[in-house]
Amino acid sequence: MWSRRSKGYLLLLAAFGVMSNYLSCFVNFPLSIVTDGHYVPPPSSGHQAPIALTPLLRRQSIATEGDPIRRQIFTQPSPHLWSDIPILAPHTGQKTVLVTGAAGFIGSHVAEALLERGDVVIVVDEMNDYYDVSIKEGNLDLLREKAKKIAQQTNKMAEDILRIHVGDINNETMMRSIFDQHTPQWICHMAARAGVRPSIDNPQLYAKANFLGTMSMLEYSREYNVTNLVISSSSSVYGESESTYFSEAEDVNEPVSPYAATKRSGELLSFTYHKLYDLKITNLRFFTVYGPRGRPDMAPYKFISQVIRGGVIEQYGDGTTSRDYTYIEDIVDGVLRAIDRPYPYEIINLGKGSGTMLNEFILLVEKHVGKKANIKLMPAQPGDVPFTNADISKAKMLLGYSSKVSIEEGVRRTVLWFKNTSTEDGIA
């Protein structure tokens, strides 16, 4: 199917072709036409983008000033938009699930939950050094321990319920051998280069891991007749949306970072594979996930660990930026629900459904750590978005999902995890 190196370059070109197509929206024109034919004004108490607009975006704003045809804004959750989608009952019974990126934060939690409920888990992770590799090794050790315990209880061998493969999902030889060996019918694709800011410095790396990586998973899924493919997307695709509730019905062709562009490209490519080959694919847009074993480059992890250690918190912007911080347990619940339901093709938000300002988040950390934060104010960063807030009505309707962990409870549990695992020098 794939020839090796030369086709790799062709794919890379294709990736940039697709991505540049989106980016061309910035130059060519305008904001898209309102889908339901109504102009919805921005909420009066709405947020404003605190970061400077790029010249390109500024030109676009000027071009559409006073123009009633503009990107649709959603001021409230819109469950009615999804009422005509037939609801699928969950598949039950044991599955063999291939989880890519399962040494990482979200992937390792998902793999653990799958093992706990009795599924067989095949892990693929390249163990890259985007952050301390020992954290990923620790996550894999935890999965091995879990598999060992479950195997003892069920009179099985640990290797019958958990297999770990270290390598790049773009490595065709390895991936073919994994598919031939385990024939997984259910795939949870969490592997990616995450992080908005580093994607600005190294966009090629992000295109290769995220766009080409997703294309590889789509190809294998097609070839090996996979029953359901769940792909991690991101709230970052909403860019500088002015909606109060980010809706899957919203036009999202204005990604403000290469990371966001790769995620949006993956969603579109998966639509193509669904259309051409009738593959069942659900893209999940995660909203700022935090909790035990969190990613050390993310603000919640940095803030909690710095306040515990009495270090300095670098706060970008004035603290009024707001995020829909979502506790890992809720995300895992949503991912498992999506794995069990092979919808033909859907994009679904997974978030808490309400935002918290950075200032408020820091206050909660101070309260649960029991110490004042030492804050150093920094200018807002390019590529960061000012506000995220998920409309989770589609997830409620299609997956039966609801977020259960409040921000206060989530911070409390995460602080507790930090206190139980950190040493003088860092995290144990």
Ligand X SMILES: NC(=O)c1ccc[n+]([C@@H]2O[C@H](COP(=O)([O-])OP(=O)(O)OC[C@H]3O[C@@H](n4cnc5c(N)ncnc54)[C@H](O)[C@@H]3O)[C@@H](O)[C@H]2O)c1
Catalytic (active-site) positions: 259
Task: Tell me which residue has tokens 């069990």.
Answer: 340
Among 184, 198, 213, 342, binds ligand X (CB under 6 A): 213
For the chain, what's the residue count? 428
Nearer to ligand X, 89 or 428 (CB): 428
Q: Where are the beta strands (DSSP E) in 126-225?
A: 162-166, 186-189
Residue 427 touching ligand X (CB under 6 A)? no
Task: Identify whether the C-beta of residue 387 lies closer than 8 Å to the C-beta of residue 239.
Answer: no
Residue 232 touching ligand X (CB under 6 A)? yes
Residue 342 touching ligand X (CB under 6 A)? no
What is the DSSP track for 61-129?
HHHHTT-S-------S--GGGGTTSPPPPPP-S--EEEEETTTSHHHHHHHHHHHHTT-EEEEEE---S
Residue 128 touching ligand X (CB under 6 A)? yes
Spell out, one character per residue from 73 to 112, where the chain touches ligand X: x when CB under 6 A holds, - when not.
---------------------------xx-xxxxx-----
Among 295, 323, 341, 394, binds ligand X (CB under 6 A): 295
Residue 10 neighbours by CB distance under 10 Å: 12
* Spatial CA neighbour of 88 closest among 279, 342, 282, 339: 342
- DSSP code, position 312: E
Q: What minimum distance in Å lies between the beta carbon of 291 and ligand X?
A: 10
Nearer to ligand X, 178 or 313 (CB): 178
Q: Determine the Cα–Cα distance for residues 43 and 322; give it in Å rounded to an integer.
A: 16
**Interacting stretch for ligand X, rule CB under 6 A, among 125-133, 245-253, 383-391, 415-423?**
125-133
Q: Determine the Cα–Cα distance for residues 372 and 393; give it in Å rounded to an integer.
A: 37
226-252 burial code (b ≥16 CB/10 A, e <16): bebbbbbbbbbbbbbbbbbbbbbbbbb
Instruction: Tell me the site size for ligand X, rule CB under 6 A.
Output: 30
Q: What minimum distance in Å lies between the beta carbon of 316 and ligand X?
A: 16
- DSSP code, position 44: T
Q: What minimum distance in Å lies between the beta carbon of 294 and ligand X?
A: 8
Q: Determine the Cα–Cα distance for residues 347 and 267; give it in Å rounded to an integer.
A: 8
Q: What minimum distance in Å lies between the beta carbon of 293 and ligand X?
A: 9
Q: Determine the Cα–Cα distance for residues 66 and 118; give it in Å rounded to an integer.
A: 57
* Spatial CA neighbour of 196 closest among 244, 234, 168, 170: 234
**Interacting stretch for ligand X, rule CB under 6 A, among 2-10, 126-134, 267-275, 410-418?**
126-134
Q: What minimum distance in Å lies between the beta carbon of 387 and ligand X?
A: 15
Q: Determine the Cα–Cα distance for residues 350 and 358; give it in Å rounded to an integer.
A: 20
Footprint of ligand X on 134-173 (CB under 6 A): 136, 168-170
Among 97, 122, 190, 411, binds ligand X (CB under 6 A): 190
Residue 299 touching ligand X (CB under 6 A)? no
Residue 422's alpha-carbon distances to 109, 143, 407, in angstroms, are: 19, 20, 22
Q: What minimum distance in Å lies between the beta carbon of 247 and ligand X?
A: 17
> Which is it for strands 322-323 and 186-189: parallel, antiparallel or unpaired?
unpaired
Among 286, 327, 387, 418, binds ligand X (CB under 6 A): 286
Nearer to ligand X, 289 or 313 (CB): 289
Q: What minimum distance in Å lies between the beta carbon of 373 and ligand X?
A: 21
Residue 384 touching ligand X (CB under 6 A)? no
Nearer to ligand X, 186 or 206 (CB): 206
Nearer to ligand X, 74 or 290 (CB): 290
Residue 349 touching ligand X (CB under 6 A)? no
Task: Identify whether the C-beta of residue 153 lies closer than 8 Å to the C-beta of residue 116.
Answer: no
Enumerate residues 6+ apart whose C-beta is below 8 A from 201.
Answer: none
Among 214, 288, 388, 403, binds ligand X (CB under 6 A): 288
Q: What minimum distance in Å lies between the beta carbon of 124 and ligand X?
A: 6
Half-sphere exposure of 143 (CA within 13 A, CB side): 34
**Interacting stretch for ligand X, rule CB under 6 A, among 49-57, 68-76, 150-158, 192-200?**
192-200
Nearer to ligand X, 107 or 353 (CB): 107
Residue least distant from ligand X (Cβ)? 104
Residues that bind ligand X (CB under 6 A): 100-101, 103-107, 124-128, 130, 136, 168-170, 190-194, 209, 213, 232, 234, 286, 288-289, 295
